[in-house]
Amino acid sequence: MMKILDQIEEPSPAISYAGLIERIEILRSTLRWSSRLERTDIDKLLRQATSLRDEVMQLSHKERFVQAATSAEPHEHVDQSRGARRKALLERSFIFEGTFGDNARLLESLEIAEKAAPTDLPVLIDGESGTGKELMAKVIHANGSRADKPFISVNCGAIPDNLLESELFGHRKGAFTGASNDRKGKFESAHTGTIFLDEIGELPLAGQVKLLRVLEAHEIQRVGSDETIAVDTRIVAATNRNLRQLSEEGKFREDLFYRLSVIHVTLPPLRERRDEIPLLIAWFGDEAAGTLKRRPVRLTPRLRDFLLNYAYPGNIRELRNVMYRVSCLAGDMADVDHLPVDIRPAAPGSAAASANASASATGQEPISVANLMSLSDAKRAASDDAEKAFLERGLREVNGTVAELARRIDMNRSHLQMLLKKHGLHSKEFRNRAMPQANRNGADEHDEEEGDG
């Protein structure tokens, strides 16, 4: 028994459907043949099941990513080449780490990341809050030769100035009040891996000097120590400030700026890559549905219109939050009422609403974008509708007898019940009351349908 468990403990690095199915089968037979399971075995099996699920998710994300890319509006030449570019990245086994979108500027950043990843060159990523800087840093790490080594993230803006140096470089016992022990810093922890210096613009000048030294000599000194320690750490830094401007103002060392930005990636704000919004809506809608264990929420045209034209000061993070929020609050269909109050558009007819309308009438917002429903959304809606119509027709034909319908369409009965529930269909309502009692052969299934909510 434990032998079988141990065999499936180590997932293979390359995920394929065949490999996954094999592992699922091993898991299944482990369960089938075991007469008794200890709690530790159960935990182990659960862990394996979880990792299998995650890998299936990853595969299906990958697949949808290609699908979305290749199904992009064929009349647009640009989209075709975008699809091809993204597909090419995939074919070269590029790891996206969940990065989604098909804007030309984003793809360009990903292509830069792909080329920069295997090198040890420092990378500077800038962009507004929520544009995906940290995600991009992870992409660079995951695609490089250090992928299986540590990725250490330090938020330079969140640590008090007087502690930052010790945090990054470590300190010696007694170096300052409170330094009761020798301590190693993040650079040492990130040795052989990658260090991600977030909000690098907040690094005080003294720390900047030390950082420069790491970049030049690949060595550090703990605070309060003369001893130099060699570190082999790849540096990826991020900022939402304009470092060039900061360096002109004397707040950031110019030489450090140039050292850090050998490869410079700027992530555009979401409002400058609106063409990506429909894809991101579908992506985060699916993701939220998975997390919340519900079917993907549908959006009213009014909400979709809003989401396509909103300015997103919080960028992708804000769009993601909104999709999670509406997926959590709405039933089948989400509307503008489900938006957070502070961004919710005013009710039609109000002064604010007509101001909005005239703003868009003057052409400030690209109105045509509002008409772009993503193809995958349209397909999903159509397929849902077809499913519902099929079930309704079936129920009518079998006079509301679920067991009979399940037999006729060769479907597992509980699966059918689930589908009926999903569409809010009540089999009772399809029963012909004029029918004589004797003809109703499924009286026993009354109970299981009453749970419909």
Q: Which residues bind ligand ATP (CB under 6 A)?
A: 98-101, 127, 129-135, 240, 316-317, 320
Specify the residue, 132 or 193, whose C-beta has the smaller distance to ligand ATP: 132
Q: Which alpha helices (H) appear in 266-397, and where do they start and end?
A: 277-292, 301-309, 315-329, 351-361, 375-397
Report, in Å, the least distance between residue 315 CB and Mg ion. 11
Q: Does 134 bind Mg ion (CB under 5 A)?
A: yes
Specify the residue, 151 or 306, whose C-beta has the smaller distance to Mg ion: 151
Specify the residue, 308 or 420, whose C-beta has the smaller distance to ligand ATP: 308
SS3 219: strand
Specify the residue, 134 or 219, whose C-beta has the smaller distance to ligand ATP: 134
Nearest residue to Mg ion, using CB? Answer: 134
Report, in Å, the least distance between residue 322 CB and ligand ATP. 12
Specify the residue, 129 or 354, whose C-beta has the smaller distance to Mg ion: 129
278 binds, among ligand ATP, Mg ion, none (CB under 5 to 8 A by kind): none
Burial environment of residue 294 by CB neighbours within 10 A (0 to 12, 13 to 18, 19 or more): middle
Report, in Å, the least distance between residue 233 CB and ligand ATP. 20
- Binding part of the chain for Mg ion, among 127-135, 184-192, 261-269, 309-317 by CB under 5 A, reads 127-135
- Binding part of the chain for Mg ion, among 65-73, 89-97, 133-141, 374-382 by CB under 5 A, reads 133-141
372: left (phi over 0), alpha (psi -120 to 50) or beta: beta
Eight-state DSSP code of residue 236: E
Q: Does 404 bind Mg ion (CB under 5 A)?
A: no
Q: Does 97 bind Mg ion (CB under 5 A)?
A: no
Report, in Å, the least distance between residue 105 CB and ligand ATP. 11
How many CB atoms lie under 10 A from the CB of residue 323? 25
The sign one gets for the Cα dihedral 18, 23, 24, 25 is: positive
Specify the residue, 134 or 232, whose C-beta has the smaller distance to ligand ATP: 134
Vertex 260 angle, CA 254 and 264, to 5°: 105
Alpha-carbon span 22 to 25, nearest angstrom? 5
Report, in Å, the least distance between residue 49 CB and ligand ATP. 25
The token pair that represents 191 in the structure block? 């040795």
The token pair that represents 78 in the structure block? 């640009």
Specify the residue, 134 or 392, whose C-beta has the smaller distance to Mg ion: 134
Cα→Cα distances 67→6, 63, 224, 389, 446, Å: 36, 6, 56, 26, 42
CB of 117 within 8 A of CB of 95? no
Q: Which residues, including other chains, have CB under 8 Å from residue 320's CB and lie 6 or more apart?
A: 280, 284, 287
233 binds, among Mg ion, ligand ATP, none (CB under 5 to 8 A by kind): none
Question: Within a 13 Å sphere around the CA of 262, how many CA atoms are in the beta-carbon half?
Answer: 16
Specify the residue, 291 or 432, whose C-beta has the smaller distance to ligand ATP: 291
96 binds, among ligand ATP, Mg ion, none (CB under 5 to 8 A by kind): none
SS3 416: helix
316 binds, among ligand ATP, Mg ion, none (CB under 5 to 8 A by kind): ligand ATP
Report, in Å, the least distance between residue 261 CB and ligand ATP. 17
Report, in Å, the least distance between residue 80 CB and ligand ATP. 20
Report, in Å, the least distance between residue 113 CB and Mg ion. 16
Residues forming contacts to Mg ion in the complex (CB under 5 A) are 134
